[in-house]
Amino acid sequence: MSDHINELYDKDGNLIGALLSAEAWTAARTVVLDHLGIVEEPQVKELAEPTQDWETLKEYWDFQYPVDTDVQCEHCGNATEDWAADEPRKFRLTSANLAGLVSFKCENCQSKIVKKHFKDEIKTECTPFQAEKKQNKEGRY
């Protein structure tokens, strides 16, 4: 149709959707959202902490050491012995899964801290916050 719009059809020839270029989407976005009555969430809204995932991980803990609650930020030096006990939080839990991957965001400098739980040791990675990356996130797939 055009470089900007790719209509998608199923095997019976029914229109099921369309892929728009960034330029086309930017032009049409407001109209589409209004038409469908979609209210945009404020972009700064913090996602709720996935504490249930953390609880599940603790429940099925099969590592050769006790549950660890300490978090350190190598980037700015922020540290806590028990992230869940801090009020206000020094670190926010951003993800946790049964494989033992637990991520936090440093509330001081926005760095991402990932604790990888292996059978007999924990490896921690600290990735400084990159503002540019976050801005470009929208529209990527």
| Nearest of 113, 44, 47 to residue 76 by alpha carbon | 113
Q: Which of residues 65-84 bind Zn ion (CB under 5 A)?
A: 73, 75-76, 78
Q: Is 111 in the site for Zn ion (CB under 5 A)?
A: yes
Q: Is 113 in the site for Zn ion (CB under 5 A)?
A: no
| Nearest of 106, 98, 102 to residue 127 by alpha carbon | 106
Q: For residues 47 and 32, give the distance between their C-alpha atoms in angstroms, rounded to a whole number.
A: 25
Shortest spacing between CB 106 and Zn ion, in angstroms: 3
Selected binder of Zn ion within 106, 112, 115, 117 (CB under 5 A): 106
Size of the site for Zn ion (CB under 5 A): 8
Q: Is 109 in the site for Zn ion (CB under 5 A)?
A: yes
User: If you ran DSSP here, which 8-state letter would residue 46 be given?
Assistant: P
Q: Please check whether residue 91 is in contact with residue 104, taking contact to mean a CB–CB distance below 8 angstroms.
A: yes
Residues lying near Zn ion in the complex (CB under 5 A) are found at 73, 75-76, 78, 106, 108-109, 111
